[in-house]
Amino acid sequence: MKKILFTANLESFFTKFLIPQLEWFKNNGYEVHIAAKSEDKEIPFCDKKFDVDFARSFNLKQNINSYKQMKEILKKEHYDIISCHTPFGGAITRLATKSMKLKNTKVVYMAHGFHFYKGQPKLKYMLFYIAEKYLAKYTDELITINLDDYEIAKEKFKTKVVYIPGVGLDENKFKFKMTKKEKKELRESLGIKEKDFVMIYPAEITKRKRQEWLIETLKDMLNENETFHLLLPGKDSLNGFCQDLAKKYNLETQIHFLGFRNDIPKLIHISDVAVTSSKQEGLPVNVMEAIYVGVPVVATACRGNRDLIQNNKNGYIIDIDDRASFCEKVLKVYNLTKEEKEKIKEKDKKIIEKYLLKNVLNKIIKVYLRK
């Protein structure tokens, strides 16, 4: 039986992004293994799990330890394909395959947004850039999911580079209908009235996603109009910092920190605009989901966002730190007519098509199976 190994920093990465790929290989006769730092998660379509101590930073001790662990796995197992994901999980795996001098094993790296990007501190940029350029030589095929990364890798890296628009948006998540009554009840459960104006930013609360910047940007607008609300569903990785900020500006009733939610599609359906303040993305799922639903998006002009938003057509792209323009475009969405909203929905239907799982998965599989 043929065997494939998927590697990523954390098990949760598989549950978020890679289940369709695991399922395809399992259903097509492969023995499927994964290597990641254990979070005690149940991973479907997986025959064997390896707990590997992958770091999420330049932690020398942890990186050496995970490198040794990966070499041990590769000594015991023979894989036809190794699929690498995440910066450190992907880097350590490729270093291990290089040292083992594996034969007849195809090594694929899927870059979900390079960790070097415009606007980053120079030292950090160079560290990640040099590492990715070096490791590309030991990668049979490199998949990029946005056009910025594709252009850089195609020009600078010595490997076969392929552009595929993301890991695929699963339409099954949206196969439901919400009645006006259900929308009203969901809003009410959050302390929001039927006619209130709702912004949503579903994302882990982190420095990279910049919820702090978003709160600072929107605070005056929220203070001036109590019918404006901001939903922030997502795990809090800043230990309550943003909640304290909302409290400081007396916005506890208008900024809703919802924690982890498994009903994001429904929350998008009750929202009037999707916003994102991120300074770095690969290809943001939250933006794709908003486009699928037909909700206008106001987004910062970072990599990934630019792939998805056609400025002034299905949303607005704003310079990374342009607070005034961000507020201006949110208010522009607030003032859209019913006809203008319908035009955005029609545009969204055309834009999202190429990002759907049914159109993306086969392209990914072709890369894996290509000789």
**Residues 258, 328 within the same domain:** yes
> Tell me: the pLDDT tens digits for 285-299?
999 999 999 999 999
Distance separating alpha carbons of residues 88 and 91, to the nearest angstrom: 5
Average pLDDT, the chain: 96
The residue assigned the tokens 């097509």 is 28
Closest CA to 270 of 195, 345, 351, 172: 195
Mean pLDDT of 82-106: 94
Distance separating alpha carbons of residues 8 and 173, to the nearest angstrom: 24
Q: Which residues of 325-354 are buried (b: 16+ CB within 10 A; e: fewer)?
A: ebbebbeebbeeeeeeeeebeebbeebbee
Mean pLDDT of 236-253: 97
**Residues 349, 364 within the same domain:** no
Coil/strand/helix, residue 319: coil
Mean pLDDT of 55-82: 94
Residue 223 is predicted with a pLDDT of 95
Domain count, the chain: 2
Residue 326 is predicted with a pLDDT of 98
Mean pLDDT of 241-258: 98
At position 30, the amino acid (one-letter code) is: Y
Residue 6 is predicted with a pLDDT of 98
Mean pLDDT of 172-191: 95
Backbone angles phi, psi at 201, to 5 degrees: -140, 90
Query: How do strand 3-10 and strand 255-259 relate by DSSP bridges?
Result: unpaired
Mean pLDDT of 114-134: 92
**Residues 286, 365 within the same domain:** no
**Residues 194, 75 within the same domain:** no
Residue 302 is predicted with a pLDDT of 94
Task: Evaluate if residue 117 carries a pLDDT over 90.
Answer: no
**Residues 270, 322 within the same domain:** yes
**Residues 13, 152 within the same domain:** yes
Alpha helices in the chain (DSSP H): 11-13, 19-27, 60-76, 87-100, 122-136, 147-156, 180-189, 211-224, 241-248, 264-269, 285-293, 305-308, 323-334, 338-352, 357-369
Contact between 212 and 241 (Cβ < 8 Å): yes
Task: Evaluate if residue 368 carries a pLDDT over 90.
Answer: yes
**Residues 149, 190 within the same domain:** no
**Residues 55, 182 within the same domain:** no
Domain hosting residue 243, numbered range: 171-355
Distance separating alpha carbons of residues 245 and 160, to the nearest angstrom: 46
Closest CA to 190 of 244, 286, 258: 258
pTM of the model: 0.93
- CATH assignment of the domain containing 134: 3.40.50.2000
Task: Evaluate if residue 209 carries a pLDDT over 90.
Answer: yes
Contact between 129 and 91 (Cβ < 8 Å): no
Query: For a pLDDT cut of 90, what percent of the chain falls above it?
Result: 95
Burial class of residue 182 (count of CB atoms within 10 Å of its CB; 0-12, 13-18, 19+): middle
**Residues 39, 85 within the same domain:** yes
**Residues 56, 114 within the same domain:** yes
Task: Evaluate if residue 103 carries a pLDDT over 90.
Answer: no
Residue 234 is predicted with a pLDDT of 96
- The token pair at 227 is 């019918």
